[in-house]
Each structure stands twice: as structure tokens, then as C-alpha cells.
Structure 1
Amino acid sequence: MELLKKVLSYFCVEFLFRHRSPRRVQKELMLEIYAAVKEGKHLIAHAPTGTGKTDATISAALTYTLDAGKTLLFLSPKISQHEMALNVVAGISKKHSLTVKTVEFVGKQYMCVHPLARRLKGEEFYELCKRMREKELCPYYCNYLEDERSSFWPLFGQSVISHDVVIAKADAIEECPYEVASELLSDADVVIGDYYHLFSPRSGEVFRKKLSKKLSDVVLIVDEAHNLPDRIRRVISYSLSTKALESAAKEAAGLDPEVSALLREASEDLKNVASSMAPGEERAIDRADLISWWPFDFTSFAEELEDLGREYLELSGKGKSALLKVARFLSGWAESEGPFLHYIHFWKDGATVSVARKALDPSVLSEEIFSELHSAVLVSGTLTPGEMYRDLLGLDPSRTVIREYPSPFPRENRLVLIVPSVTTRYSRRRPSEFERIAGELRRIVSAVPGNVAVFFPSYDVLFSVLPFADFAGRPLFVQKPDMKPEEVASILSSFRSNSSVGAVLFAVAGGSLSEGVDYPGSDLLAAVIVGIPLAEMNLETKAIIEYFEEKMGKGWAYGYIYPAVAKAVQAAGRVIRSENDRGVIVLLDERYTWKNYYSALPRDWDPVITEDPVPYIRRFWNQS
């Protein structure tokens, strides 16, 4: 109630908005963002497609930060999502005749202009770049060091600067684009970047130094925030295989035979431990187990390997070193106190063994960051339940506001059905059930006058249903594991081009065809979610469930059920992407009627539960 009063008190605030006026739902979102930011609170906002959330979040936050002298930091999971944010700030600047210093900051490898280094990717690039800088072999970096200008902003002659513009300008003066972009950060009003620039132990520390601002002077917008917990988990997780140990031993053989022998011994130690395991088996271990198995001190040996790795790179001229990979793993393992799962995995090939440290709780990294920020706005079209994201990321409940906004599109344009006649539960996974699922799909597809996408919980289920699939001559396109990007693009193009006859797409929920892809207009008229895309019940999933059950009594919800429903909602969201789209969403599994799954669905869906979906679907399209 107190926040509501404050929201109403800001109703007359003149927001920096690039269009003529915000839509009703945008204005509501902007008011709540402004109130939260002004009060130094965090806002978790579930805002479905069409809400105009990028315009709303930037406009409301920027209205505050420019007046308060704070920096606005906009982070997203992909570089491709930066363009919209850049366009919003540019539009605001133009409409309101403002100079809003804005820079897009991306990873070093995406900005490099050195003819040799820019051909490399990942670890190879960063090792070569580091070596060239240390040896003063990169002319672009050396020219930057010799540049005595006090500010690089006048070089650009504009206030909103994309990373492409930085690259072009820096290349023209033969200086390092990454370092030039870094120079712009401290004076920027708005910085647009990737999650890793803040939520990564190493990159985050470097970025904060370059930003030259206390986090208490920063307002953060996290775009597509449903991705953040898993992103953080991945960045603080490590693994190492016997293959890597043996490669490192080969590299060390000509430099230090004793070190080479220790690495081979470490590899054999892992194989000996795995000798009692079956291929494909995983087994939990204590952090101290690996330390006791291996014949060296992790910290000092990691330092020795790092020196040898750099020496190997220098002598071989190669771009990467297994010695450095082992060194990083040992350093991470030595520091892995806290909520981590440590385990050994005997691969299905019957020869390779790996050890891993998997992060269970992303808040070990993010909690301190959010506590220091002046305010944070986390927004996504799949951010329910908000309490889960608050708890997973460690946001203080006393300063966190959670809001769920309805879809701004006409409700009559969408039909949501739950069909409980089948299930993909493990206890029911048999040919007869897969045949029944195929039969339900056949009936649903026959009632849709156009393209239908069917999203499965796994490839195993997809290929179990596939032999029974028969859609009366309609073209069927099937996503397969490990498809190359160009193969996925080809399937997508063929599926879209067959919309006039009505094609069917079989894909996996959580895969590349179910997230981050738009199917506008007639490209997709219905999405069927077969089963619930639950995580495999492996060691990691079990450990996450147990951890959050012990920490807050919500292990099954936070570690298993809610993330799966979020994947289903993401896939279903492919259907309605604009106010003119019409479409059907079918949740094909009895468990969607169960309270613990049903309660995780968006509140505005209001699904119809029926074992006979065809009349509803036909009536919906007849009314179109």
C-alpha cells in the first residue's frame, strides 16, 4: 500500500519517452519502475511480449538516473539484444534534445581488429591477446598506451555509440577498440553490455574498475532476467577430464618432466577411482577427496602450471594450452568452499573420466552485487513466480517489489488449453502411451488451419513419438541433437515457407527453436507443449533440490518444477508475438492440472481444461 501511494504520487512525472505517449500497460510499468528506483528498491517484473518493456524500463530508469547523477547499466544475455536498447536511448536523446552519453561494451574478442588475433575464438584468443600485450607485440594496444588525450568522447562526435562504431573509429586511428571503449565507461550516462560484465568473478572485477563507479551509484536493468540464475551457475562451475590432464602432460614433457609425470599420475588416479563405476555413472565426492587423491598442493601447483603454460605458448606459437586449463581448474577447486556439488563422472565411452564442481546457488555471487546496487530492475516475459528469482539471486525481500503484468494483447486472440488425457511421466513411458500422444497431436493438428510447432521435453520423447506421427500429408520438420546453426536456420526457413499448406515442427523445449525465435503472423498458429520439460534427475538436479529444500523448504519447486514450467511457457510464447497475432497453446500432459504445476503458469492465461480439444480449436478459428 505504501509503494502504491508513492507510485500514484509519481503519476505526473514527465518521463523521457521516445514515442508520443506510452500505452496504458507501459505507463503502469514505468510508474512502478520509477517508484522502485527512486526509493532504492529492486523490481522483479514479469512483462509479457508486447508490453514494450525495453522502452518502459530504460525510459523510467533514465528519467531518474540523469536527474540523480547516477549511471544506468543495461545488461542482456546476447549482443543481438543490445540494438533495441541503443535505439531507445538514441530516440530519447533526439526527441528531448539531450546528450545522453551511451556506450555499448562487449567482450574483447568481439572488438579485436588485430589480423591474427581476431581469427581466434574463446580461450585461444584471450591467451594470445594477453601474451601480445605483455610482450608489447600488439601495435593497436601500444598505440593506445601512447595516446595522451584526456577523453575519447570527442573522437566520436555523437553521444550514443555502438561497439561497431567504436571498432571503426579505433581502427581508423590504429588503436585497440576494447581499450577505447573502456575509456568511455567512466563518463557514460548509460552502459549497455552482457551479464558477464558484472556477474562474473574475473570479468566483473575488471569491469567495475573500468566503470570507476560505486555500485551504489548504479541503477541496473537486467533484460531477459529469467536467464540470469543459470548463467551465473555456469560461470562459477568448473570441470576437468583425463583427456585434458593427458594433453597437459604432453605439453609439459619437454619443459618439466617431473610436472608431466605428476599430471599423468593424476589422470591415472581418476581412472583408478572410476574403475568401480559403470560407464555413464556419476558419483558425488567431497571437495577434499580430490585433494587427497592427487600428489600435489593445488594452489602452488596451479601457479607452476600457469608459468609452464605461458612458456609452452611462447615456444609453440599455439593459441591455447591444456596446462592453463588445468591451472584454472585447480585454482577454482581450491577455492570452492560453499554450496557446490563435487562429483566424478565416468563417460559412456568407457575410457574418459572427469571431475566437476557445479554451483548450486547463484546467490553466492549475485547477492553481494544486488545489495550494493542503488536499485535493480529485472524484467522478462517469463519471470514467474517472481519470488523464486528473488530468492535464487539473493535479493533482499525487504527492498524487492514483485509484479506480474498481463499480456497487452486482446485475450480473444489466444486460446490456452490443458489436455490431461496423456502424460510423459516416466512411469507411463511405453510405446502405447507414445502412440496415444501421437494420436492427440494428429487430432490437434487437423483442427489448426496452418503451421503447428510441437515442443517435447527431450529428444528421447520426441523420437519415441516420431514413429507414430502421421499428419495426413502435412510436411513434418524435425529438430535433431547437435544441429549446426545453418541446419537449424534451414529447418526454420522450410517450416515457415510451408505455412500455406500447414506444416508441423517437432522440436525440444529449451532448445534453439523454442527460445529467442519469432514466428510472426502465419508462421505459427499453434504450439503444443508435450509433457513437462523437467531437468534430468541426475546428481546435479538432485543436489539443487536438496540444497534449496534445506535452505528454504522449496527444493522441488525451485530446483525442478518451476524451471520446467518456465521452459514450457517460453516455448508457448512463440505463438503470440504481436497484437495482430492469433494462436492456440496446448499443454498436453495431465500434470499441468496439478496444483504445483498449474500455479506456476502465468495468471492471465486462464486455460481451459478438456480431454477433447478439437471443438475448442475449431470454434476459435471459425471466430477469426
Structure 2
Amino acid sequence: MNNIIKVSVRNLIEFVLRSGDIDNSFMSMGRALEGTLAHQKVQKSYGHEYQAEYSLKHSLKYHKFVIEVEGRADGIFIFPDKVVVDEIKSTTRNLDDIEEDYNHLHWAQAKCYAYIYSLENHLDKIDIQLTYFHIDTEEIKKFQRSFSFDDLKEFFLNIIEQYIKWASLTFDWAELRNNSIKSLNFPFTKYRKGQRELAVATYKTIKEGKKLFAQAPTGIGKTMSTLFPSIKSMGEGSISKIFYLTAKTITREVPINSMKIMIEGGLRSKVLIITAKDKICLNDEVKCNPKDCTYAKGHFNRVNDAIMDIFKNEDMMTRDIIISYANKHHVCPFEFSLDVSLWADTIICDYNYVFDPQVYLKRFFEGAGNDYVFLIDEAHNLVDRSREMFSASLNKSDFLDLKDVFKERYPNIYKGFNKVNSKFNWIIKDLKIEEEYYQIDEISDLYYPIKSLITSMEPWLIEEKDHEKYEKVIELYFSMITYMNIWELYDEHYVTSMENKDRDKIIKLYCVDSSYLLKQALFRGKSSIFFSATLTPLEYHMDLLGGNKDDYHIRLSSPFPRENLCLMIRDNISTRYKDRERTYIDVVKSIESLVLRKKGNYFVFFPSYIYMKSIYEVLVDRNPNLNLIIQEADMRETEREDFLNKFSKEDDLIAFAVMGGIFSEGIDLVGEKLIGAIIIGVGLPQICFERNIIKDYFNHHIEQGFEYAYIYPGMNKVLQAAGRVIRSEEDKGVILLIDDRFSNYRYRQLFPSEWGHYKRVSSRINIDSVLDEFWKN
């Protein structure tokens, strides 16, 4: 029988009987550990008749299912005349306030343990004891009740019956889904060139539980080539869930549309898009507690009905759909979406939810070897994103700004802040740091002052929730927690850096090479597919993204006719920082050549905002009638959408944007929406302290420091920006690369094979001549 359900006693009870509020108000980070120690202390206080951590397991056939329930009771007393199941709960609440029916879930969990024990040992009656242990005072309060086997059986089967309606829903859905997958055909009449190869490679990789690194040019249909074989693998039972991971919100539209196409073609699949809490919150402020948010109050009383409702009525669960059901049932949309994720087949979400050690979805990934596939879109972005996920920093200014909050009423906390400040100063002085410094070894002097301060701050955070500086204090507290968590990961892949900036001093545990930690995170699933148009060079990305020698890799060529792309290189202009000002006019004239020769929509990409604005001003001054728009820093989502919508509405648009930014990748402007791009510079990241740390690290390990820190990341930005132009077989467009380094072998060797027909141009006359020839054909 395949209808086997495995569930723990705790998860069974918490799901079926959960009720009450969401309350993310501060609770001590050390309480979980203290709770474990409290359990151990109580357990050790008993005699030989007590058996601690008693494992229990029961399998029963119920309707068409076999349910395997297992758990571990805190302890069982086995006396000559009776048996007592002991359930221990640690608490900081005053024991006088805890009555016998303080929490019905505590009794329910113990009753399940008691039922299984009674069944195994043929008992007609058994006792249950709830033991409440006060963490601070170490006082104990106990409640004890006797239960008949028949009463426990009735209770247990009632819980199972409630759970079965969910299990039934899941199994019935899986059957419906899998039948639809069997009859699902590839949604297009034919595969594009290279698309079938990628789909087959993805299918084979999932079957074998391996990793695939796929460099597939823009327009090949990477999303469908990875989603379709993943869906087929799900229908065959190879995987149970698909995680489609993106770096940016704007890039989610492509997988959403791909799933919609398959659903329109007959697929039944539950698809969920997880939106960040601050972008989906319905409250005035993101405060997840019953006092400040009516959606948090009573959330758990209503959420199961909300899940059942959306599951029965929706397949594509977008942000708007989640919000509509959250409003209907008055539940927190973010927590609701996380609950719905347990029932979804395909989850489209940010990289963070799988890889970030602070926020990854532990509900899926607590064990190793889960049968999930990770489809990692625009995988080149994960190199730098993962470095930041596994790094942590502290600013001395935060401690200085907040220490006076505690001066009057909390002198111990005030002293703790001063100790951390003093350690900052001592480290700067001892290491003679003037501006920037890093070392391979840990700087351990801050460890104990920070650890001590975390502990001393906790009473304040519990008692002073209405303080005007509360949000800033708790933000610093969690920064320290993150710092200590990252400290536990520190090894030879890290450096400790210090920056001395005026009043501020910054210490950072910087993960220079996150490949090892990514490799560990990938064990949370069965298979991983990394894909991008710009995994260039492939060996570099496999190295930094946790690849192995035996992982699969594939390079695919462009499916589009080469003659549809006019590629020019103007390599007699330097865009290096020192040369920019004197070459402004040459760059502007090159832009004018393209946009004035043929009316249409163009993108102009720059290596920085400052450079972009300087060229923008010169171009506007010379051409006041041009239809120009420019990307601003920190654009809101609606502003981004308005920016992109202009390409659909206008036909003479010149858009200025930054390479590596929100508009240089993951957007699809087909046909006349975009006919050309000018790319200025080789995309090198700005020379800075952290980039030089990367350079030093990889120089030391593989003698490719400048390539790993600057050239490869830069050229990936160039290739991504260029990929905006040709998006379909009918598209025709021009690309102009401006920089003298484009003729250098170190950069040219990173060109894709389909760029072999590029033309070198040295003047506006050259450009005009090439364009006239191209556009007349």
C-alpha cells in the first residue's frame, strides 16, 4: 500500500488542535536551550522507576491509509501498581498563574503517548502527569489525572479522524495531479534549438539525484526546459516538491507564466508564490502580535479553514490570491502562505528560503535527503548573494547610539555596552587599523562581551516593549545573535575584516568562499539544477556554487539566427574611471549613432549610477527632444513596473540603467519592445575593500584572484545586459559594446560562441555604415 502517512505526535496535535494568536513578541533566544536543561534536571531527579525520553510508535490502518505515529515521551514512571506518563514543560510564567487546564495541547500530546503505551502494554488505565518547571526559580508544579484506555482510544481516533480529512485531501489531490501529469505534453508545438537537450538533462539529473550546471543562452526557454521535466518527475514519484528559486521579485513572472501555460494545457498543480513578509503584510506596521495586529489575534483559530478553502478552490496561489483569502478568513497572509507551502507542489520563492541560515524554511529541511528539486534561476546571482547570507557584521556606532537607553535603570546592560565599545577601540588600536584591515584568524576578543550583552539585554526586551527605542534595540540584539550564529560557521573560508570610518568602526565575519556551505545546504533536497545564460566561465560557477567533479554540466548555443543580431565593438574608447570625463562626448556620440539611425526602444547600460547620470546630462543637453528615462536607486516595485511598462506603450524610448541591476536581467521585451542595447564598460565591480579580499583569497588558493573578484563577475553583467535584445526567433536587434578592453583576450575569451561575427567600429561613420547594412536586410 502506498498510502502511508508518517507523522509525529507533536505535529499531529499542533496541526489538528492549534488555536490562539500569532505572537512574535520577543522571547529569550536562550530559552530553548534552558528548556532542554530544565527537562534534563527534572528527569535526573527521579529514581530507577523513571524511564526518560521513552520512544513510542504506533501503526494503524484507517480507511484507505496506514498511519504511522511516533514520538518520544519525556518520561514514564513504571510503578508496581500503576504507570504514569510524564510530560515536562519549562516556563517563565508565574506558577501561581498556571492551572490544570492551562494549555490543552499539553494534555493532548501526553494523552497520545499514554494511548500508544497502554495499547502496547495492554493497560486498562494509565495516569498522566504534567510537570511545569520554572526556568528562573526552578520551582515545580505538577498536575496528575487518570484515564481509561477507552477514553484515550476515543480521543486518539478522533484526532486521527480530523487529520485524515487533510491526508485524504492530499492523497486524492496527488492522484488527480499525477494523472494530469501523465497526459501532459510539452506545451509548445516544437522545442527550440537546445531546449530539448536541457529538458532531457534536467530529467536525467533529477532521476539520479545529482546536480546540473546549465549555461543556456537567452531565449532558449530555460524556465520551461527545467519546470516541465521536474513536473514529469513529480508525476513518476521521483520528487515530491519543486522549489523554483529566484534572486529578484521581478524575475518570478517567467516561472509563473510557464506554470500557467502548463495548467492551461491540462496540468493540475498547486503553485505557490511566497512573498516577503514586509511586502504582503496587511497591517499598518509589520508587528506580529495580537496587540498590534488583528490578523495575528486568533490566527490559529481560523488558519486551517483558510488552508482548506484555498486548497479546494485555487491552483495558482499568487500574492493577490493569498491576500484575498487572508482577508476572507482574517489571517496573517505571510504565515498563511508558509502553511499553504506544506500543501503546494511547486513553490516559487527567493533564494533565502532554501539557503539563508537565518531564514530558510526549517519546516521542510530539518532532515537530510528530502525528495525535493531546487531549480535555481539566474544562478550566477547566488555567488554574491550567498557570501552575504553567510556573513555578519556589527557597527560600533549602534552600541554608542543606544547605550544611554540603559544608563539609569539597567546599569548592567549599560556596562555591557561600554565593554563592547571598549573592545572595539582596543582592537582598532592594537591592530593599528587606520582605515581597513582583515585577517584570516578570528578576532575573538568580542565574543564574550557580545555573548554576555545578549543575555543581559533579554529582561529589558521582555519588560520594555513600549520604549521609544525598542525597535532599534531589538534590531541590534538580533544583529548580535546573527553575528554569534555566523561565528559558529567560521572556518578557513572566512576572514575577519575591520573598517575604521570616522566615528564608526565595523567588524565583519566575511564568508569569502561560500561553496562549502552551499554544498551542505543542497543536501536539503534530492537534486539541484543551476541555470543561467551567463554561467561564464562554467568552471568558476561550479567551483563557487558547491559543485563537484562528478556533477553534470551542459553548454548550449543560441537557438536564434546569428544574422538577426548586429554586434559591434567600439574598442577605441576607454571607460576606465580615470578616463571617463575626457571620453564623455565619444560615448554620447556612439549612443546617438544607434538611437538616431533607427527609431525604436533602446537600453543603455552603465557600470555605475554616477557615470550613468553624467552621460545622461550630456546627452540631454545635446538632444533635448529625445524620449529619455533613467533608473533611480532604490525604486519601489510600482516604479519598476511603470518603468518597464513604457516599453510596451512607446516606440522611441531610450532607457538608462545600471549593469547588474533590476533591469539588466530577467526581463522579457520581445519584438519591437526593444531593438537595441548599448553597453558601456566591461562591468567590473567597483574596486573596493571586499573585492580585494576576494582577489587576495583566490590569488592565494588558485592564482586567479583578479578573475574571480572582478573579470568574471563583470563580464557576466555584460552578457546579461546584452541578453535583453534577442528574445525570440523573430527578434532583430543591435548591441554596441564600448570599451577598449573588449578587444583584450582576457575578456574576449568569455564571449559566447554566437558572438563570433562581431564587427569592430572606431567612429560614428563606421557605426552608421554597419547599421545601414543591417537594418536594410
Q: TM-score range by the shorter chain?
A: 0.7 to 0.9
Q: CA deviation at 1:454?
A: 2.8
1:565 maps onto 2:565 in alignment: no
* Residue from 519, 529, 540 that aligns with 2:679: 529
Letter in 2 for 1:588: I
In the aligned structure 2, how far is the partner of 1:191 from the partner of 1:112? 19
1:88 maps onto 2:258 in alignment: yes
CA-based RMSD of the aligned residues comes to 3.8
Letter in 1 for 2:243: L
Q: CA deviation at 1:221?
A: 0.9
* Residue from 51, 66, 76 that aligns with 2:235: 66
* Residue from 389, 392, 416 that aligns with 1:235: 389
SS state at 2:719 partner: helix
Letter in 1 for 2:770: I
Letter in 2 for 1:51: I
Q: Which residue of 2 aligns with 1:77?
A: 247
1:172 maps onto 2:323 in alignment: no
Q: Which residue of 2 aligns with 1:17?
A: 186
Give the count of matched residue pairs.
588
Matches within 5 A, 1:389-538: 389-398=541-550, 400-425=551-576, 429=579, 431-462=581-612, 469=619, 475=626, 477=628, 479=630, 482=633, 484-485=635-636, 499-500=651-652, 504-538=654-688
TM-score (norm 1): 0.82
* Residue from 257, 263, 269 that aligns with 2:417: 263
Change (3 A) 1:51 1:213: farther
Contact 2:303/2:329 (CA < 8 Å) preserved in 1?
no
SS state at 2:358 partner: helix
* Residue from 274, 280, 288 that aligns with 1:105: 274
CA-to-partner distance for each residue in 1:392-443, whole Å, 9 max, x for gaps? 1112220x222222333332221112222122235x6264444444454455
CA-to-partner distance for each residue in 1:165-193, whole Å, 9 max, x for gaps? 33333432333444443344344332322
SS state at 1:92 partner: helix
Q: CA deviation at 1:602?
A: 1.9
Letter in 2 for 1:575: V
* Residue from 480, 497, 506 that aligns with 1:343: 497
The worse-fitting range, judged by mean Cα deviation, of 185-194 and 33-42 is 185-194
The worse-fitting range, judged by mean Cα deviation, of 148-157 and 600-609 is 148-157
Q: CA deviation at 1:594?
A: 1.9
Q: Which residue of 2 aligns with 1:388?
A: 540
Change (3 A) 1:376 1:448: same
Contact 2:568/2:736 (CA < 8 Å) preserved in 1?
yes
Q: CA deviation at 1:605?
A: 2.0
Letter in 2 for 1:263: F
SS state at 2:437 partner: strand
The worse-fitting range, judged by mean Cα deviation, of 212-221 and 602-611 is 212-221
Letter in 1 for 2:519: E
Contact 2:250/2:662 (CA < 8 Å) preserved in 1?
no
Higher strand share: 2
In the aligned structure 1, how far is the partner of 2:416 from the partner of 2:432? 26
Give aligned-pair identity as a percent.
26
SS state at 1:201 partner: coil
Change (3 A) 1:301 1:145: farther
5+ unaligned residues in a row in structure 1: which ranges?
Answer: 1-12
* Residue from 248, 259, 268 that aligns with 2:402: 248
Q: CA deviation at 1:496?
A: 8.1
The worse-fitting range, judged by mean Cα deviation, of 104-113 and 61-70 is 104-113
In the aligned structure 1, how far is the partner of 2:311 from the partner of 2:639? 42
In the aligned structure 2, how far is the partner of 1:90 from the partner of 1:212? 31
Q: Which residue of 1 aligns with 2:506?
A: 354
Matches within 5 A, 1:368-383: 368-371=520-523, 373-383=525-535
In the aligned structure 1, how far is the partner of 2:680 from the partner of 2:372? 43
Change (3 A) 1:330 1:453: closer
In the aligned structure 1, how far is the partner of 2:195 from the partner of 2:580? 48
Q: Which residue of 1 aligns with 2:770?
A: 617
Q: Which residue of 1 aligns with 2:207?
A: 38
Q: Which residue of 2 aligns with 1:604?
A: 754
Change (3 A) 1:39 1:590: same
In the aligned structure 1, how far is the partner of 2:685 from the partner of 2:386? 18
In the aligned structure 2, how far is the partner of 1:490 from the partner of 1:111? 20
Change (3 A) 1:368 1:159: same
Contact 1:278/1:346 (CA < 8 Å) preserved in 2?
no
SS state at 2:679 partner: strand
1:312 maps onto 2:464 in alignment: yes
In the aligned structure 2, how far is the partner of 1:478 from the partner of 1:137? 40
TM-score (norm 2): 0.67
The worse-fitting range, judged by mean Cα deviation, of 188-197 and 614-623 is 614-623
SS state at 2:230 partner: helix
Contact 1:452/1:526 (CA < 8 Å) preserved in 2?
yes
In the aligned structure 2, how far is the partner of 1:87 from the partner of 1:482? 28
CA-to-partner distance for each residue in 1:446-493, whole Å, 9 max, x for gaps? 544444433222245445656765755552747476364477777777
CA-to-partner distance for each residue in 1:343-368, whole Å, 9 max, x for gaps? 22233xx4333222332122232111
Letter in 2 for 1:475: L
Contact 1:33/1:377 (CA < 8 Å) preserved in 2?
yes
Change (3 A) 1:405 1:522: same
Q: Which residue of 1 aligns with 2:726?
A: 576
* Residue from 539, 543, 546 that aligns with 2:693: 543
* Residue from 433, 449, 459 that aligns with 1:297: 449
Contact 1:309/1:324 (CA < 8 Å) preserved in 2?
no
Contact 1:448/1:526 (CA < 8 Å) preserved in 2?
no
Q: Which residue of 2 aligns with 1:29?
A: 198
Letter in 2 for 1:593: S
SS state at 1:100 partner: coil
CA-to-partner distance for each residue in 1:240-270, whole Å, 9 max, x for gaps? 2233112331333354223224324534654
Change (3 A) 1:213 1:145: farther
Q: Which residue of 2 aligns with 1:590?
A: 740
Change (3 A) 1:513 1:54: closer
Letter in 2 for 1:157: N
Q: CA deviation at 1:567?
A: 0.7
In the aligned structure 1, how far is the partner of 2:365 from the partner of 2:309? 15
Q: Which residue of 2 aligns with 1:9?
A: none
* Residue from 345, 363, 378 that aligns with 1:224: 378
Q: CA deviation at 1:156?
A: 3.1
Letter in 2 for 1:614: I
The worse-fitting range, judged by mean Cα deviation, of 145-154 and 437-446 is 145-154
Q: Which residue of 1 aligns with 2:223?
A: 54
The worse-fitting range, judged by mean Cα deviation, of 381-390 and 431-440 is 431-440
Q: CA deviation at 1:565?
A: 0.4
Q: CA deviation at 1:391?
A: 1.0
Change (3 A) 1:506 1:161: closer
Contact 1:240/1:355 (CA < 8 Å) preserved in 2?
yes
SS state at 1:543 partner: helix
Contact 2:391/2:486 (CA < 8 Å) preserved in 1?
no
In the aligned structure 2, how far is the partner of 1:107 from the partner of 1:313? 24
Q: Which residue of 2 aligns with 1:10?
A: none
SS state at 1:614 partner: helix
Change (3 A) 1:551 1:311: farther
Letter in 2 for 1:420: D
